[in-house]
Amino acid sequence: MKKIIFFIFFILFSIYSYSQQSLDNTDNIKQITAEAQNYYDGTKEFPKDYKKALDLFKKAADQGDAYCMYRVAYQYEYGQGVAQNYREAWAWYLKAAQLGHEESLNRLEALKKKAEEIKRENEKIRQENERIQQENERIAQENRRKKAEIEQNINEFKYQYGQMNNYLNQMQRNTTIRWNEPHQAAQCAKYAINNLRNIFKILGKNEYCLDRAYSKFMAVEAFGGSLSHDLYKPSKYNDYKRMLGCLQEAIDLLQECISELQN
């Protein structure tokens, strides 16, 4: 009988002790939560400090308080007092939701939608980056093609321009007037101008100066075609002199085109 009474007394005492401990723990959590809220909101006694608020909310959350778990998750979600971390936010919301915290369950749904939006946005960014990369590669290929064309036309221009100068030099060295040398110089110049025209088109430059120079060289050719080998007749010689003057004007225009290309 005494043993039964002692056992009953022990059970009652244990229940009382556990209840008292639970009450003390609840009071402690309330106190921590209140202090955390003060730091979160900011008051005269508690200057706003998200970091301290988070530490205190965590302290209460570690003791099993669902609301404080929710507050910890919230600060992780929005980066308050800590680096923004959706994984941590999800983990804390999940803990609180498992304890029946309804708002945490709502936040889990919101985070899920946000994650889906981020995934869609990242996919858009990936596709846009891929498009930009492809466009850059296309531009690079186009630039390489243009560079090759420009180099080819420059080489051909140098050759024709050199041939033109050879004929001009022959004109200066010869004591006998030869009508065909200016004529041939003009032909080489026209080929050289066509090479320049290709370069101008690739670079998007105005071709007006080329058109003027080309017309002048065509005039030189026309003069040359009307001349015979007998240049000592006054009429023929005068045509020859006009052809030389036209040739010099054409050469000056060609030099202007070359200068414009270099600018």
The whole-number pLDDT of residue 224 equals: 60
What was the pLDDT predicted at 259? Answer: 82
Determine what percent of the chain is predicted with pLDDT higher than 90. Answer: 41
pLDDT at 12 over 60: no
The answer to whether residue 13 scores a pLDDT higher than 50 is no
Evaluate whether 58 touches 68 at the Cβ level (below 8 Å): yes
- Mean pLDDT on 101-122: 93
Distance CA 189, CA 219 (A): 12
Residues in the chain: 263
pLDDT > 70 in the chain, percent:
80
Residue 101: pLDDT over 90: yes
Range of lowest pLDDT (25-39, 65-79, 111-125): 25-39
Reported as a single tens digit per residue, the pLDDT across 199-252 is 888 888 788 888 888 887 787 777 665 554 554 455 555 666 777 777 788 788
Summarize the confidence of residues 25-29 as an average pLDDT.
Answer: 76
For 118-165, the pLDDT digits (tens) are: 899 999 999 999 999 999 999 999 989 988 998 898 888 888 888 888
Q: What is the pLDDT of residue 185?
A: 79
* Residue of 20, 109, 93, 84 lying closest to 61 (CA atoms): 93
| Mean pLDDT within 74-102 | 95
| Range 183-198 average pLDDT | 82
Q: What is the 3-state secondary structure (H, E, C) of the chain?
A: CHHHHHHHHHHHHHHHHHHHHHHHHHHHHHHHHHHHHHHHHCCCCCCCCHHHHHHHHHHHHCCCCHHHHHHHHHHHHHCCCCCCCHHHHHHHHHHHHHCCCHHHHHHHHHHHHHHHHHHHHHHHHHHHHHHHHHHHHHHHHHHHHHHHHHHHHHHHHHHHHHHHHHHHHHHHHCCCCCCHHHHHHHHHHHHHHHHHHHHHHHHCCCCHHHHHHHHHHHHHHHHHHHCCCCCCCHHHHHHHHHHHHHHHHHHHHHHHHHHHHHC
Is the pLDDT confidence value at 85 over 80?
A: yes
- As a whole number of angstroms, the distance between CA 51 and CA 81 comes to 4
Average pLDDT over residues 165-184: 72
- pLDDT bin (cut points 50, 70, 90) of residue 178 is low
> Residue ranges of the domains in the chain?
144-262
Q: How many C-beta atoms lie closer than 10 Å to residue 171's C-beta? A: 15
To the nearest whole number, what is the mean pLDDT of the chain?
Answer: 81
Helices 50-61, 2-41: crossing angle, 10 deg rounding: 160
Q: Which amino acid is at 244?
A: L
For the record, the structure tokens of 105 come out as 């369950």
User: Average of pLDDT values for 43-68?
Assistant: 93
What's the pLDDT score for residue 107? Answer: 95
